[in-house]
Amino acid sequence: MKNIMILDRDDTDVLILTQDQLLSDAVSEKYLIVFDLDNTLAALGKPIEPKTLQCLQELSAAGHHLAIASGKPVYYMVGLCRQANLPKIWLIGENGAQTAFGVDLPPEYCLNAKVKAKSIQALDDLKRKIIAKFGDNIWFQPNEVAMTTFFTDVQTRVELEQFLEEIRDELIQAEITIFPHSDCFDFSPSGINKGKAVTDLIQWLEVNPLRTISVGDTWNDQSLFEACHHAIAIDFPEAIKSNGTIIHVSNIEQALIQIQKIL
């Protein structure tokens, strides 16, 4: 059987494909399927359930491009996917600031977003202000680009919300977007989001945009829904999609059933 050498997009690595593999790719075009992590693939702070994991492994084995898009850093998801036996997966971290492939460190491929210098400075300044005001009542996720602030109790959350409201104009001027969650706040440079990262990944993989599926559960997944042709919202009745319909389900099991129907 004849092997064919193909340079990757930056001409640094070589991929060996057999003629049978090339024929298979030509006959059966694959999907890009992107999942949010917390309260989508798994409950907050919990592992992926065995049935869900089995479905992910089967989708990967079938040759589909799988991705997880989360506010968590890439290295956090690397550990999760390594243990879950999902080695061939795209990981989009910090709400789109980082994109990497696989579970090795360093990653096989990195498609990180470009961030304005003023946004980086603004996040550094905001972090110092929050530390000065809230001290040990907050904890910062060890991100590389975006900032995620956890709070220790409900009162701290209320006070943090009030503080952010007071400096709203300052954050708008600095082009910082806030994503509130039940246990934390994500702060991202404007223009960096899950949808932008997925759009870039679609172009890099040269996937047919009509063969894209996203699954999410909250506001920082809105851009994800817009980036993919098929969108599935889990227990998120406010979710909308300007360029098509959105499928509403109650849990990940129902979402996986809808994915199988689409495939």
> Which pLDDT score is estimated for 1?
37
Q: Please, where are the H alpha helices in the chain?
A: 19-27, 50-61, 74-83, 117-134, 154-166, 168-173, 194-205, 222-227, 252-262
What's the pTM? Answer: 0.84
Closest CA to 67 of 27, 109, 106: 109
φ and ψ at 185, to 5 degrees? -125, 135
SS3 232: strand
Report the first-to-last Cα separation within the chain, whole angstroms: 31
> Which pLDDT score is estimated for 18?
43
**Domain boundaries for CATH 3.30.70 within the chain:** 117-189
Condensed to tens digits (0 to 9), the pLDDT of residues 146-174 reads 999 999 999 999 999 999 999 999 999 88
The pairing of strands 32-36 and 212-216 is parallel
Condensed to tens digits (0 to 9), the pLDDT of residues 58-87 reads 999 999 999 999 999 999 999 999 999 999
**Domain boundaries for CATH 3.40.50.1000 within the chain:** 29-113+208-262
* 29-113+208-262 CATH pick, 3.40.50.720, 3.40.50.1000, 3.40.1000.10, 3.60.20.10: 3.40.50.1000
Condensed to tens digits (0 to 9), the pLDDT of residues 191-213 reads 899 999 999 999 999 999 999 99
> pLDDT above 90 covers what percent of the chain?
75
The pairing of strands 147-151 and 138-140 is antiparallel
CATH 2.60.120 fits 117-189, yes or no: no
Condensed to tens digits (0 to 9), the pLDDT of residues 95-138 reads 999 999 999 989 989 988 888 888 889 999 999 999 999 999 99
> Which pLDDT score is estimated for 159?
96
Q: Is pLDDT above 80 for 24? A: no
d(CA 19, CA 31): 21
Instruction: Give me 57's structure tokens.
Output: 């492994």
Q: Is pLDDT above 50 for 25? A: no
Exposure string of 162-196, with b = 16+ CB inside 10 Å and e = fewer, is eebeeeeeebeebebbbbebeebbbbbbeebbbbb
Q: Is pLDDT above 70 for 185? A: yes
> Which pLDDT score is estimated for 10?
43
